[in-house]
Amino acid sequence: MSRHGLLCWKTAGMTAALAVLALLPWSPAWAADIKVQRHTLDNGMVIQVVERKALPIISVELALPDAGAIQDPREQAGMAALTARLLTEGTATRSADQIAEAIEYVGASLEAGAGPDFATVSFTGLSRDLSLGLELMADVTRHPKFAEDDVTRIRDEVLADIQAGDDKPGVVAAKAFDKALFGAHPYALPEEGTEDTVPGLGPEQLMAFHSRYYVPEGAVISLVGDVSMGKAKKLVKAHFGGWSGARPAPQERAAAVPPEGIRLITVDRPVTQANVAMGHLGLTRSDPDYYPVIVMNYLLGGGALTSRLGDSVRDSQGLAYSIYSAFAGMGDPGSFAVRFQTRNESANQAIRSVLAELRRIREEKVPQEELDAAKSYLTGSFPLRLDTNNKTVGLLTFIRMYGLGDSYFTDYLERVRQVTARDVQRVARQYLHPDDMVWVVVANQGEANVERP
């Protein structure tokens, strides 16, 4: 909880776009100029470096492509996340306290976590501490201890976090939505696990997960900041060169079944607002349609203040403070969702407005002017995704984890520019299904009284 929690902002959910360019040329053409140097170690680990020497600081991220929550067996949901959280809690030669002291004494940070598709270990600090940072990153990645007592301590924290999440209507809605939408697919369960699965995760399971999925083959380490490729190569080799192991064979996964008709899920809470999530399955991040889809979605509800949903629900009707739509582009097909909060009594009116916009973008060709504005935002603001070292490192990871290719920086701009009004209508018809959706409404149900169409 920072003091910023006490500030009020005009729009919510825009933090990603808030900060300013720090180190890159503005013009979208900068993209072709960004220099990513790459090298592969003998053990299969890839090194990526972007040199930025204006400040004596550095960000490093190691990504493990197979160590995400998607690997969790259903009855062991939370395993990938708990494994990652335990990495910095003790190794064969360092206690949790020693790790924290070494990092904090130099004012740096060391973090590990698992998302749905992959896990990361990251370091941010002054560039003079890079060697220390890589030494610790390697130690926690390669030799975590998973001591019984540390596992119990962190597991209890995770269980308490899960419990506390129940106080946040948005979190409750998101969990219910994923569960209903993804069914038998692992994306159905929260990354951190559930109250039923987490207590069963012990040191032995975590160790087994670690030895299987934390391997150098396919792992990618990205460094952005005050460092040269020569130095990065030397240090990464010194700390990770002796690491060995091959990627496990890919696993079969149950597919999610698209909803048919409107599946309404209600959760009754004594709240003043209805928290609503409406949507269905989307597409993978590497799908060629991803680009026309993000342009279409920006028009629909991706651009919080300039989108059709924002115009209708917020600006013209005053029904919500925050409303947006998003396609989650992931390894397997992710979700499409419209999310908003409105006072209980206006839930039906807001839902009707959302449906009207979903139909309109399917039925009517978008005006050229509106399309051009969306495209120029998406291309022109691309540098905002690389404005700090931390963000750049995250994008470098992302490109490799989703196999977007080394030409991503030019492809992105090219593909967005090529999208036509016809493409937008085609993907709207193909990827928006207003009649076949999951609706989750967390609200005081007596007041919200949501009706199916």
**How many residues does the structure list for the chain?**
453
Minimum distance, C-beta of residue 10 to another protein, in the bound complex (Å): 5
d(CA 236, CA 43) in angstroms, rounded, equals 12
Residue of 145, 185, 314, 339 interacting with another protein (CB under 8 A): 314
Minimum distance, C-beta of residue 393 to another protein, in the bound complex (Å): 11
Q: Per CB under 8 A, does 167 bind another protein?
A: yes
d(CA 2, CA 7) in angstroms, rounded, equals 10
From the list 214, 211, 235, 206, the residue with the least C-alpha distance to 83 is 206
Minimum distance, C-beta of residue 26 to another protein, in the bound complex (Å): 4
Minimum distance, C-beta of residue 200 to another protein, in the bound complex (Å): 18
Number of residues that bind another protein (CB under 8 A): 94
Minimum distance, C-beta of residue 42 to another protein, in the bound complex (Å): 26
Residue of 46, 81, 227, 271 interacting with another protein (CB under 8 A): 271
d(CA 266, CA 264) in angstroms, rounded, equals 6
Site for another protein in 116-155 (CB under 8 A): 124-126, 128-129, 132, 153
d(CA 60, CA 235) in angstroms, rounded, equals 12
**105 vs 261, which CB is nearer to another protein?**
105
**52 vs 280, which CB is nearer to another protein?**
52
**202 vs 434, which CB is nearer to another protein?**
202
Site for another protein in 21-50 (CB under 8 A): 21-28
Residue of 36, 44, 51, 100 interacting with another protein (CB under 8 A): 100
**115 vs 225, which CB is nearer to another protein?**
225
Q: Which residues pair with 443 in a beta bridge?
A: 268
Minimum distance, C-beta of residue 350 to another protein, in the bound complex (Å): 10
Phi/psi zone of residue 217: left (φ > 0), alpha (ψ -120 to 50 degrees), beta? beta
Site for another protein in 328-357 (CB under 8 A): 341-343
Residue of 284, 306, 410, 449 interacting with another protein (CB under 8 A): 306
Q: Per CB under 8 A, does 5 bind another protein?
A: yes
Phi/psi zone of residue 80: left (φ > 0), alpha (ψ -120 to 50 degrees), beta? alpha
d(CA 451, CA 315) in angstroms, rounded, equals 24
Please state at what angle helix 96-105 crosses helix 130-142, rounded to 10 degrees. Answer: 160
Residue of 17, 36, 264, 265 interacting with another protein (CB under 8 A): 17
d(CA 61, CA 38) in angstroms, rounded, equals 14
Minimum distance, C-beta of residue 65 to another protein, in the bound complex (Å): 27
**83 vs 379, which CB is nearer to another protein?**
379
d(CA 271, CA 444) in angstroms, rounded, equals 6
**238 vs 305, which CB is nearer to another protein?**
305
Which amino acid is present at 39?
Answer: H
Site for another protein in 365-394 (CB under 8 A): 372-373, 376-377, 379-384, 387-390
What are residue 392's phi and psi, to 5 degrees? -65, -45
**Segment interacting with another protein, rule: CB under 8 A, options 100-108, 184-192, 212-220, 228-236:** 100-108
Kindly write out the interface string for residues 392-431 of this chain, putting x where it contacts another protein by CB under 8 A and - elsewhere: ----------------------------------------
DSSP state of 284: B
From the list 317, 297, 311, 306, the residue with the least C-alpha distance to 419 is 297
Residue of 320, 330, 347, 395 interacting with another protein (CB under 8 A): 320
**116 vs 301, which CB is nearer to another protein?**
301
Residues in contact with 380: Cβ distance below 8 Å, sequence separation at least 6, in sequence order = 28
Q: Per CB under 8 A, does 57 bind another protein?
A: yes
Residue of 48, 197, 322, 353 interacting with another protein (CB under 8 A): 322
Q: Per CB under 8 A, does 8 bind another protein?
A: yes
Phi/psi zone of residue 307: left (φ > 0), alpha (ψ -120 to 50 degrees), beta? beta
Site for another protein in 192-251 (CB under 8 A): none
SS3 label, residue 130 = helix
d(CA 383, CA 395) in angstroms, rounded, equals 11
Residue of 230, 248, 318, 405 interacting with another protein (CB under 8 A): 318
> Beta strands of 269-364 (E only): which ranges?
273-281, 323-327, 335-343
Residues in contact with 394: Cβ distance below 8 Å, sequence separation at least 6, in sequence order = 61
